Structure 1
């Protein structure tokens, strides 16, 4: 049994070639099923797709403004967080530097306190004129080494007495004195930078009271 070919019957009311209306087609008499082609079927023969329904309208302007405001608020919040973190780090770094410098100063101060008896002996030998030859050279090198750590010796005869840097162990009145000055340095003072490690121990002379 052979299958009969499948045929289409064009029942469009408008002739696609002439554009004129055509008469209603008579039904076929062979009893075979007929396929009705809609009037706009010609638009599908070129492979095109029927137009899709229109998409929804875009979001209203008010909605877009709200999204922009929310994004700006979030960006401002993140910027504020970043600025606080930066300020906190800056404070931490400055505090760490201060602590480091304070620890360094304390270390130098401890070393200086240990060397003070030796330095006093060297100074007494210098005042007595006994610091000569190689010992004088060694003393100069020691002073240079102390200078690298900002250790400064102070106190000299003739300086005006300053209770913040001088420790007066002896006092002498003089009718010729108009101010109190250092007459004799018993032990020189030492400071590290601006910090007084030991005041200069001196004998002073001042006006009669």
Structure 2
């Protein structure tokens, strides 16, 4: 029996004793806070040494900028040129936007005004027949003329005006001279804003005798 028991004990190594460490800060028996033990060393907080004060740190930001400008004049000139270029581009951009906006407003106004030209033609025919001498057409015509004039619309085309092919559409020619003028206005033309032609005037053309020296570009002959 003893030999078999010793053989069984020889098969397993002896166990190490179990060590239990109580890490609770409060003692359950006394209720007091325990002191730090060597198993729980306290690492002291390192103290930061004061940094030495440099002359640059005590300078005003404006003084530092002046100093940097003196030390790097080429860089300052480069940045100044970049800033001026950006400002010029922004100014040109604003002008272009304003110009485009103004052009869009003018185009819209001209398109709306052109829709009233047929009504103005009817009023012109009524005026020729004397229908605008009495109310209410006279008041309506006056109000419409005031509105279109305020928008920048102006009528043109009168008898005796010098014929201009960019402003007048000739449907009939009379005479064979070299000084064409408007004979009769069949339909008035209209401009908008800075002389933008909304519609040319439909007219007849009378060509009177050319002035001496203006025929074929020759000078008058001295009879003496």
Q: TM-score, normalised by structure 2?
A: 0.58
Contact 2:155 2:190 in 1 (8 A): yes
Is residue 85 of structure 2 the alignment partner of residue 100 of structure 1? no
**Cα separation, 2, equivalents of 1:68 and 1:139:** 71
Displacement, 1:208? 7.0
Identify if the C-alpha distance between structure 1 residues 92 and 169 changes in structure 2 by more than 3 Å, giving closer, same or farther: same
Partner of 1:163: 165
Displacement, 1:76? 1.2
* Number of aligned residue pairs: 142
Structure 1 SS opposite 2:110: helix
Identify if the C-alpha distance between structure 1 residues 74 and 208 changes in structure 2 by more than 3 Å, giving closer, same or farther: same
Q: TM-score, normalised by structure 1?
A: 0.62
Identify if the C-alpha distance between structure 1 residues 68 and 181 changes in structure 2 by more than 3 Å, giving closer, same or farther: closer
**Cα separation, 2, equivalents of 1:73 and 1:102:** 43
Partner of 1:125: 126
**Cα separation, 2, equivalents of 1:76 and 1:148:** 52
Q: Runs of 5+ in structure 2 lacking a partner?
A: 1-67, 211-224
Structure 1 SS opposite 2:183: strand
**Cα separation, 2, equivalents of 1:109 and 1:149:** 9
Is residue 151 of structure 2 the alignment partner of residue 149 of structure 1? yes
Q: Runs of 5+ in structure 1 lacking a partner?
A: 1-66
When the two chains are superposed, the root-mean-square deviation of aligned CA atoms in Å is 2.2
**Cα separation, 2, equivalents of 1:127 and 1:95:** 47
Contact 2:123 2:141 in 1 (8 A): yes
Is residue 208 of structure 2 the alignment partner of residue 191 of structure 1? no
**Cα separation, 1, equivalents of 2:186 and 2:162:** 16
Partner of 2:182: 182
